[in-house]
Structure 1
Amino acid sequence: MKRLLIILGAGSSIPVGMPSVSDLDRKMFEWSDDWSPAPGLENYYRAVWKGVEQYYFASPDSIKPSPNFEKVLGEMVGLAHWMTPPPFGNALRQLISPTGAPIGMAFHEGRYAATVGINDQLTHQLVKLAQHMRELCKGGPVTRHCRFSEYEALFSGLRKRFELGVFNLNYDNAALTALPGAFAGFDSNGRFSAAEVHERTTWDFVYHLHGSVHHKLEQPFGNRIDWFAELNGTFFDGHVGNSTDTRSDNRAFPKTSLIAGGFKLDQLLAEPFLSFYAALIRRVYEADAILIGGYGFGDMHVNRALQNRLEAKESRPPVAVLTWSPGADPMEFRSDEWGRKLAVTLHAPTPYREPGHTSPPHIADLISRGGFEVCSPHRVAIWHAGFLEATRRLDAIADWLDGAAQDAVLAGTS
């Protein structure tokens, strides 16, 4: 049986009730307002968001990105590092502000007060994120969702055809629920089993590369992450105002049960994330085929793992991308951030065509026919009609990924 590597982004869980990035953007603002700085001090999250927004606004319209909570959390890490006094902060501070005075923000007095304040709110935001996601997953709302049967059918259908290895970039338990018995990286006592992750020769696993609602920090300082199956139990997700871990260039990161924001390679240095990332590098080279679902190509560490593998023109595996983009231009003319990153990550520039057609497809028509946009020279197929909607063409997808069918199987059928 061939091995199928699956990478899941936020768009794969939205159809079964999990939040989108924009949903979490709104929640982050609420949580930032719940955090209570001393009188006269900043809501640093809102201040950084505004700065990022103004910075992006000055860019050309053709490449203008939008702020999101991950970008802002990452900039907060950078700001906290910049505000740390010598010799542990950013040396560029000497060029930008030789006196060490903060620019445009109000902080407590004291050498480390600014760093502590920013990290305090950053930890607060991450703890709230973990708690929010866990509340959404408690009591089986995923399984009760009206579309979970489609979600389950997609995974069970693929499981019948392939050995599956899933790298879930989301925190929810939807994929684990759809793949009962899959190895999550922890033993029966909830302790992380690094040896099995590295020595495992079989597939049938679901690794949460950025954390899970089942992750629980060891109290009181969070030096270890355990797995706790019962979501109604007591969890420790981080200590606001305490306990950071130093990574490259002396940047300090909060110890929390999940990771979000920038500097992800630094954040991945803690276990279990580092072992999961090492597994991603290994498994992407072992894979006979790759399926990417609901992913915005926004995580460079994931992109480079794929890019490094797919640079080799010989023996590169087929890649199917399941997304929802009814209003998009065809890849031939697409100039947005998603299209550019996909082309670079998958080493798959144009041409893209619906099989049997010589001109670039109109995406809305392609969706209505249940067809795929295919880059035949690079063996990449894009399904624009939504993650769960792909169950309609599951046999065709599996046949194409397995090599049992040519591109023509991905043409529209209606």
Structure 2
Amino acid sequence: MTSLSAKRILVLVGAGASVDFGIPQTSGFTDKLEEHMLADGYSVRSGGWDAYKCVKSELENYYGSESEAHFERIYHTLHELAAMKVSAGAVPKYKPVLLPFMQPNHGLKFDALRAAASSMLEAIYSIASASSAAPKQSVAPLSEFVRKLESIATTRIYTTNYDDFFSQASPHLFTGFTKKRGEFSLFSPEDYWSCWGQSGLFHLHGSVHLGFPLWLSGDPSIDIGELGWFESRDEAIKHSSFSGSGSPRLDGTELERSAIVTGLDKLGRLQQSPYLYYYSGLARDVVEADLIIVLGSGLGDYHLNSYLREARRSAEPTPLIYVGYWKEEGDELFEALNSVQTDHSEAVIHQLRVGQNSDIKFDAYRGWTTNSVAKIAIYTNGFYSFLKDPDSLDCVLQDIGA
């Protein structure tokens, strides 16, 4: 928590905060993704669609569940299998270290695997971009929410979502992309740190405004694989794919360069700009925050959970508000915290540290469960309902000492 006079609020945004605005949930997202892949002529001709179906089927059989064979696991499998390729005459740096100990039994061609992985990236980007272009709910309540936070403190918003609903609601927020180059802007590490006192919006896993501008500009100062921020989504999507070499990994494989970060090996993709600076800034924001607000996160990103755990494990934990969705409001939350041990409920209990049951007030306000001792409050009715009930937030902030 900062000792400075200027207060700071850290906001972490997850997928659940975009559902009401139109980003499809898991089953609907998969349907749209597969529609896009079927319409990708190159992927179909090169066997990419067949590779996708094969991997999806194998994962469903392996996990015994369709829901567990979700798109991030499918993409990860396709990408990692495609990475197990050795070119003739390759030096040790480009030979996968595990390959001598692995015997492929899938019969899928490397070109098909890579085409399927690339087609998935294009589909995910396209779905997020199209959904952003036509929000199903007004962003006005979101704009008011951000404005309210900024009236209280410097507000730093970190989102794992690709969409731009927060940008639409608050287009003034600082991103770090300040080097204007015509249709796009480049990230400035110097400005990112020098503008520490500004409210900002930082996309931790990519955005529908990011693309690869090198081939567009011909500017030799732009590195291969460097990302640029395009004000226009329509322009950004034209540059969202990268056709050059991947980013080398120490195990001899390559990471496919992409404008969005997905799959199970996110950390490998976060070592480039701007993500490297965003995560450094996030660590500092966690330490200096006077209040942390988590919106719509399923708490499935272990690297982000680590930040939250550190903020909450001290003798004086940083006050925290968690906005999620439970069908039966307080009753279902009570079950989740006391008997139904899902990954999500375990994360809420152990990472967010909700405190002792005797200190928890279920239904303290409509939709709210609070613990003034542990300095935490949980909203159970979903993100958009939370936005439409700003008055309760004032009471909750007082209860948890924020």
TM-score computed with the length of structure 1 as normaliser: 0.80
Over residues 334-355 of structure 1, what are the superposed CA-to-partner deviations in whole Å (9 max), with x where a residue is unaligned?
3112111222322446527653
CA distance in 1, matches of 2:50, 2:95: 22
| 1:270–1:41 CA distance, 2 compared to 1 (3 A) | closer
Of residues 52, 59, 65 in structure 2, which corresponds to 1:52?
59
| 1:202–1:8 CA distance, 2 compared to 1 (3 A) | same
Q: Give the number of aligned pairs.
A: 374
Look up the equivalent residue of 1:268 and give its one-letter code: L
- Does residue 388 (structure 1) correspond to residue 395 (structure 2)? The answer is no
Of residues 25, 30, 44 in structure 1, which corresponds to 2:30?
25
- 1:204-243 mapped onto 2 (5 Å cutoff): 204-220=199-215, 223-233=225-235, 235-239=238-242, 242-243=244-245
Q: Tell me which residue corresponds to 1:105.
A: 107
Q: Are the counterparts in 2 of residues 375 and 381 from structure 1 also a CA contact under 8 Å?
A: yes
Look up the equivalent residue of 1:184 and give its one-letter code: T
Look up the equivalent residue of 2:10 and give its one-letter code: L
CA distance in 2, matches of 1:343, 1:248: 36
Q: What's the CA shift for 1:294?
A: 0.7
Q: Tell me which residue corresponds to 2:393.
A: 397
Q: Tell me which residue corresponds to 1:323.
A: 324
CA distance in 1, matches of 2:121, 2:301: 18
| 1:352–1:243 CA distance, 2 compared to 1 (3 A) | farther
Q: Are the counterparts in 1 of residues 241 and 259 from structure 2 also a CA contact under 8 Å?
A: yes
Q: Tell me which residue corresponds to 2:7.
A: 2
Of residues 282, 294, 311 in structure 2, which corresponds to 1:280?
282
| 1:229–1:96 CA distance, 2 compared to 1 (3 A) | closer
**Residue aligned with 1:382, SS:** strand
CA distance in 1, matches of 2:64, 2:401: 43
- Does residue 259 (structure 1) correspond to residue 250 (structure 2)? The answer is no
Q: Tell me which residue corresponds to 1:110.
A: none
- 1:8-407 mapped onto 2 (5 Å cutoff): 8-35=13-40, 36-37=43-44, 43-57=50-64, 66-82=68-84, 84=86, 88=94, 90-97=96-103, 102-107=104-109, 114=110, 116-138=111-133, 141-142=134-135, 145-187=136-178, 189=180, 190-220=185-215, 223-233=225-235, 235-239=238-242, 242-311=244-313, 313-327=314-328, 328-330=332-334, 331-348=337-354, 350-351=356-357, 355=361, 361=362, 366=363, 370-398=366-394, 400-401=396-397, 405-407=398-400
Look up the equivalent residue of 1:325 and give its one-letter code: W
Over residues 264-303 of structure 1, what are the superposed CA-to-partner deviations in whole Å (9 max), with x where a residue is unaligned?
1101112111111111111111111100111111212211
Of residues 378-387 and 119-128 in structure 1, the stretch that sits farther from structure 2 once superposed is: 119-128
CA distance in 2, matches of 1:170, 1:137: 11
CA distance in 2, matches of 1:74, 1:40: 18
State the 4+ residue runs in structure 1 displaced beyond 6 angstroms. 39-42
Q: Are the counterparts in 2 of residues 210 and 260 from structure 1 also a CA contact under 8 Å?
A: yes
CA distance in 2, matches of 1:400, 1:329: 17
Q: What's the CA shift for 1:18?
A: 2.7
Q: Are the counterparts in 2 of residues 187 and 193 from structure 1 also a CA contact under 8 Å?
A: yes
**Residue aligned with 1:165, SS:** strand
Gaps of 5+ in 1: 59-63, 108-113, 356-360, 410-414
Gaps of 5+ in 2: 1-5, 216-222
CA distance in 2, matches of 1:297, 1:156: 26
CA distance in 2, matches of 1:42, 1:21: 19
Q: What's the CA shift for 1:228?
A: 1.1
Over residues 251-271 of structure 1, what are the superposed CA-to-partner deviations in whole Å (9 max), with x where a residue is unaligned?
312222111111111011121
Look up the equivalent residue of 2:144 and give its one-letter code: A
Q: What's the CA shift for 1:65?
A: 7.0
**Residue aligned with 1:250, SS:** coil
RMSD between aligned residues: 3.0
Over residues 117-164 of structure 1, what are the superposed CA-to-partner deviations in whole Å (9 max), with x where a residue is unaligned?
4233212211232233223333xx33xx44422222322222222221
Report percent identity of matched pairs.
22
| 1:177–1:164 CA distance, 2 compared to 1 (3 A) | same
Q: Are the counterparts in 1 of residues 121 and 258 from structure 2 also a CA contact under 8 Å?
A: yes
Q: Are the counterparts in 2 of residues 244 and 255 from structure 1 also a CA contact under 8 Å?
A: yes
Over residues 44-94 of structure 1, what are the superposed CA-to-partner deviations in whole Å (9 max), with x where a residue is unaligned?
222222233223228xxxxx9723212221222332334558954554444
Q: Are the counterparts in 2 of residues 33 and 43 from structure 1 also a CA contact under 8 Å?
A: no
Q: What's the CA shift for 1:12?
A: 0.9
| 1:350–1:72 CA distance, 2 compared to 1 (3 A) | farther
Q: What's the CA shift for 1:39?
A: 7.2
CA distance in 2, matches of 1:150, 1:41: 42
